[in-house]
DNA sequence: CTTGTATTTAGATATTTACCTAAATATCAT
DNA sequence: ATGATATTTAGGTAAATATCTAAATACAAG
């Protein structure tokens, strides 16, 4: 996992709002759309990016397609973030060469 | 901490590479630039976005400007990510933190 | 105070992205 | 099969972003 898809998916406020919505339970694309002012076509585009990042899963139920959080990716994401930002023990700013 | 700036900053591969570099210690803008093929001007733009997200700090040392990770933001970021993706039983969109 | 080095800012361009409308696909109900 | 509903795909546009070159700023050393 490169993080490319993940962080890109998280970079958009609409997509983060979709994720927030889904925290309270799975919803169909149409139900999700009721919470937004943009068109369903635009939302579908966002759904695609969220799926690409594996942040959500889909399941068809008759006419509806139900979106739900893929919670298993959450730990990976948090781990990735920590890994990205955790400094190694040596070398902090204070240790930087004082080459003034 | 806005989340908007954070995830946007993390969405770009060059900026993530800058952060990875800084994990092993603070470096000046020029030293960082040696690891990339893009111009220093372009990198400066990326530095600005990383600063805006409070992912890095700067300190002037003579002619150099030394960049270092802002590690204090790391826990906030991880917490934010977990909050965004953790399902809840009763939360609605209104209950969700706005600033994620 | 002038010259050299380090970094940023300004202005321009190419690519990417978010959004829209319209059309296509999939399922359900009659 | 026909019509209605739900969702996605296609095609196009406007805004945002990454990048470049050139110019400006900040500091150090002579």
Residues of chain A contacting B25 with CB distance shorter than 8 Å: 87-88, 90-92, 95-96
The band of B84, judged by pLDDT with boundaries at 50, 70 and 90, is confident
Distance CA A80, CA A99 (A): 34
Per DSSP, the three-state class of B35 is coil
Tokens of A69: 């959080």
Tokens of B99: 């600033």
pLDDT in tens, B24-73: 999 999 999 999 999 999 999 999 999 999 999 999 999 999 999 998 88
pTM of the model: 0.85
Nearest to A77 among B20, B22, B85 (CB): B85
Distance CA A99, CA B64 (A): 9
Interface test with B, best of A1, A3, A10, A25 (most B CBs within 10 A): A10
Q: A38 — contact with chain B (CB < 8 Å)?
A: no
pLDDT in tens, A52-78: 999 999 999 999 999 999 988 877 777
Tokens of B21: 């570099």
Beta carbons of B61 and A22 less than 8 Å apart: no
Interface test with A, best of B6, B8, B10, B15 (most A CBs within 10 A): B10
Q: A5 — contact with chain B (CB < 8 Å)?
A: no
Distance CA B22, CA B26 (A): 6
Residue B88 phi/psi, 5° resolution? -130, 165
The pLDDT of residue B99 is 41
Protein footprint on strand D: which nucleotides are under 7 Å from a CB?
A: 5-11, 17-23, 26-28
């Amino acid at each position: 996992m490169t993080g490319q898809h993940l962080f890109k998916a998280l970079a958009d406020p609409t997509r983060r709002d979709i994720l927030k919505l889904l925290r309270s339970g799975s919803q169909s694309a149409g139900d999700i759309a009721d919470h937004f002012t943009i068109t369903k076509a635009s939302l579908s585009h966002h759904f695609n990016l969220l799926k690409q990042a594996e942040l959500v899963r889909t399941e068809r139920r008759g006419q509806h397609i139900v979106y739900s959080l893929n919670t298993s990716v959450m730990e990976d994401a948090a781990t990735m973030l920590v890994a990205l930002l955790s400094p190694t023990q040596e070398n902090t700013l204070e240790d930087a060469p004082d080459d003034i």
